[in-house]
A and B are shown apart, each in its own frame.
Chain A
Amino acid sequence: MIEIEVTTDPRGIGVVVPRGRLNMVSAGRLREALGELATAGTHRIVVDLAETTFLDSSGLGALIAGLKSARQAGGDLRVARPTREVMTVFELTNLDKVLRPRADPETAFDD
C-alpha cells in the first residue's frame, strides 16, 4: 500500500516521496530507498510527507535510521509537508525537535 518515488534534484539533494501508509509492512521499503541514496553518495535527503497518509513507529524508525546515516556522512535528512495526523505522531514522540518539519521540499535545505 505504498509507492516511494525517489529523485535527485539539480543541487544533488535526494527527494523521497512516500505515497500511502508507512507502517510495519512498508517501512522496510523506505529504509531501502534511503539506504540506496546513501550508497549512491547522496547524503542530503528530503522526505516529502505530503502524500503519506499514515505514519507509525516503524515508519519513524526508518526515518531515524536515514537521519543517522545521513548525519554520519556529513549530510542531513529533513522532512517536509507532514499532514496534521503525521505531525501529531512527531509531536507525541518528541521527534518534532529532531525531525523539525519544513514547509516545502524545495526550501528544506535553505537553512
Chain B
Amino acid sequence: MTEAPASVTVTAAATPAALDLVQNQLADLWRSSPGVSARDRARFEMGLVEMVANVVEHAYRRDDSGAAGSGARELSVRITVTDDSLEAELGDNGMPVEIDLSDVTLPDPEAESGRGLALALASLDHLEHRRDGGRNVWVLRCVRGRDA
C-alpha cells in the first residue's frame, strides 16, 4: 500500500512531560498512516521514547548549574513516515553527549536503570548522533517490514 509521506514535528521543553507529547503526536501519526504494521509501530515508538527519555535525563544534567535557565532547554523531534521507513530526527540544545554506541550492553537483571540505550539499539535499524551547531542531533530509523 502506497501512502504519501506523513510527518509531524514536536518542540517542547526538555522535561519528562515532553515524552507524553511525543507519544500523543505519534498516536495521531499512526492514525493518519494506517499502513504501518503493528510491529514497526511498536519498535519505532520504543526506540524514540528511549532516546527522548535519554535526552531529558542526561543531556541537561551536567549544565544544571549553568547560566541557561531551564526554559532555554528544549528538544525537537521531527517524525517522518515514508513508504520504506519510519524516521525521527531528535535535536536538543543540551551539553555535548559522549556515548559509544558500540559499547552499549544490558545491565545486570536486578539493575533498576541502564536499559534505555540497549532497548533503543535493539528496536531501531539505524541510530546515529552528531553535534551540529551547538545541538545534539540523533537520527533514528526503522526500515518498514513487508508484513503490514
Binding site for B on A (CB under 8 A): 1, 21, 23-25, 54, 56-58, 60-62, 64-65, 68, 84-85, 88-89, 92-95, 97-98
Contacts and interface: CB of A to CB of B under 8 A. Distances in A.
Interface in B101-131: 106, 109-116, 118-119, 122-123
Interface string B44-84: 01100110010011000000000000000000000000000
Contacts of A21: 20, 23
Contacts of B123: 92
30 contacts: A23-B19, A23-B20, A24-B16, A24-B56, A24-B57, A25-B17, A25-B19, A25-B20, A54-B45, A56-B49, A56-B116, A58-B53, A61-B115, A62-B112, A64-B109, A64-B110, A64-B111, A64-B112, A68-B110, A68-B112, A84-B38, A85-B42, A88-B42, A92-B123, A93-B106, A93-B115, A94-B106, A95-B109, A97-B109, A98-B110
Q: Sort A-B residue pairs by CB-CB distance and give the 7 closest, nearest first.
A: A57-B115, A61-B112, A57-B116, A85-B42, A24-B53, A92-B122, A98-B109
Contacts, number: 71
Instruction: Name the residue in A60, A65, A84, A97 with the highest tally of chain B Cβ atoms < 10 Å from its Cβ.
Output: A60
A57 B117 CA distance: 9
A24 to B, nearest CB: 5
Contact of B115 (A60, A65, A98): A60
Interface string B18-48: 0110010000000000000010001101100
